[in-house]
Amino acid sequence: MANSEVDLASLLCSKICHDLLSPVGALNNGLELLEGETDPVMRDRCMDLLADSARVSADKLKYFRLAFGAAGGFGDNVDPAEARQLIESLLGDSGKITLGWAVQGEALPKKAIKILLNLALIAKESLVRGGRLDVGAEQGELGIEVVIRAEGTKIALDDGIRTALDGTIDPSDLSARTAAAWMTRELALKNGGDLRISPASTTELLLGAIVTA
């Protein structure tokens, strides 16, 4: 697929639909179960399923709105607390992944927040068996420096996502799976910065980006 803005937007839409399919499908299943269920205990369980699926759907939409979209309602700068809340909601309360937060400053440019959220999402999805996700950002000499670190018993990063992050992917090979990584790298480069990824490892992943202020 050609690397045009329209193509990239289409691929991101496909990713959003794919990631929302599970919680929205659970909503539909819960409604079907509730419709024919008369036992009070089972109805309560159905309501819990519906509530959980609705929360997950809403949390993902909020995340994607700022990570991928124009995010109207935010100014040119975004309070990092907004990003932290979105990441915490994405991790959930299972305790499978521990979040470490080291973001300095009261506000960061929206473009830096978008890069931070996208890299955090990639790192989180690589922690297939759980672990620790560290998120850091600060004003450096060259601009806003963003660093994301994932550590766990098993890191599984898709090869296509890796090549999209390091810039070696053929743009015609972009897919819904790799579009967000490609967009993140392009966002850094077009704002006078750079994006780096650590060598392949089964226990640790480091992602770093610089964005001019």
- All structural domains of the chain, each given as residue ranges with its CATH number in brackets, are 5-211 (3.30.565.10)
CB contact set of 146 (below 8 Å; sequence gap of 6+) = 112, 115, 116, 119, 136, 137, 208, 209, 210, 211
Quick one: pLDDT band at residue 213, thresholds 50, 70, 90?
low
Quick one: pLDDT at residue 72?
55
Res. 107: pLDDT tops 80:
yes
pTM over 0.85: yes
β-strand 144-151 against 204-211: which pairing, if any?
antiparallel
